[in-house]
Amino acid sequence: MDKVYRRDVLWRAWVSVRANNGAPGIDRTTLAEIEEYGILRLLDELAVELRDGRYRPLPARRVLIPKPGLRGDWRPLSIPSVRDRIVQAAVKIVFEPVFEADMLACSFGFRPRRSAHDALQVLMDEHGRGRRWVVETDIADYFSAIPHQKLVRAIEERICDQSLLKLLRQVLRAGVIEEGQVRREVTGSPQVPIC
């Protein structure tokens, strides 16, 4: 856990969150307001809360966005507060090297320094080698169907820091605000940044 609240890790997390230019969460705090408040001040406060075990994530704000290419079909999007996104990004920074070591070279989704362009290049290379078949799959509602208990158990196989696992459970249990009500779900994972 001590890596998550290091200033350099929290700073990298902030840079990542800032680059996304995302919308505010349920607290309605914008990126500009965070900058006005003082980024280092906020990061220091988060570091103390994380170190002392006092950090508590807020429920995410749930909005529906249209699914690309599917008229009339909507996808739920959970928008955490900016401070929660910073913490989640810091956890991702700590988790990523551990899990990246297990990834296959043919895997491109949600990976650092890998893009759809890289995947396309592999397809073109394989086509050049005479391979002519491509199988496209899509697991419907994949991220919203991940059971929290199984996810945490799988992560526990590689991460043994109990305070970090406790933080992960808190993030997963924070729930969402939907139509003014907090819903705490036992399945579903944010697509980014942690899981």
Tokens found for residue 20: 């996304």
Residue 134: the pLDDT is 80
* Mean pLDDT (the chain, rounded): 90
The number of distinct structural domains making up the chain is: 1
pLDDT of 140 strictly over 80:
no
Q: What is the pLDDT of residues 25-54, one digit of tens each?
A: 999 999 999 999 999 999 999 999 999 999
Q: What is the pLDDT of residues 59-104, one digit of tens each?
A: 999 988 887 777 778 888 889 999 999 999 999 999 999 999 988 8
67: number of Cβ within 10 Å = 11
Q: What is the pLDDT of residues 119-129, one digit of tens each?
A: 999 889 999 99
Residue 19: the pLDDT is 96
* Assigned domain for 195 exists: no
Residue 190: the pLDDT is 58
* Assigned domain for 157 exists: yes
95-113: burial string, b at 16+ Cβ within 10 Å, e else? beeeeeeeeeeeebeeeee
177: number of Cβ within 10 Å = 17
Q: Is the peptide bond preceding residue 57 cis, with omega within 30 degrees of 0?
A: no
Nearest CA to 144 among 109, 187, 110? Answer: 187
* Assigned domain for 83 exists: yes
Residue 107: which region, alpha, beta or left (left: phi > 0; alpha: psi -120 to 50)?
A: beta
* CA–CA distance, 67 with 106 (Å, rounded to integer): 26
* Assigned domain for 47 exists: yes
Residue 67: the pLDDT is 79
pLDDT: which is higher, 54 or 136: 54
Instruction: State the pTM of this model.
Output: 0.85
Are 1 and 169 in contact by the 8 Å Cβ rule? The answer is: no
* Assigned domain for 164 exists: yes
Containing structural domain, residue 111: 7-135+142-183
Q: What is the pLDDT of residues 3-19, one digit of tens each?
A: 999 999 999 999 999 99
pLDDT of 108 strictly over 90:
no
* Assigned domain for 153 exists: yes
* Assigned domain for 1 exists: no
* Assigned domain for 100 exists: yes
Q: Which amino acid is at 144?
A: S
* CA–CA distance, 47 with 40 (Å, rounded to integer): 10
Residue 80: the pLDDT is 96
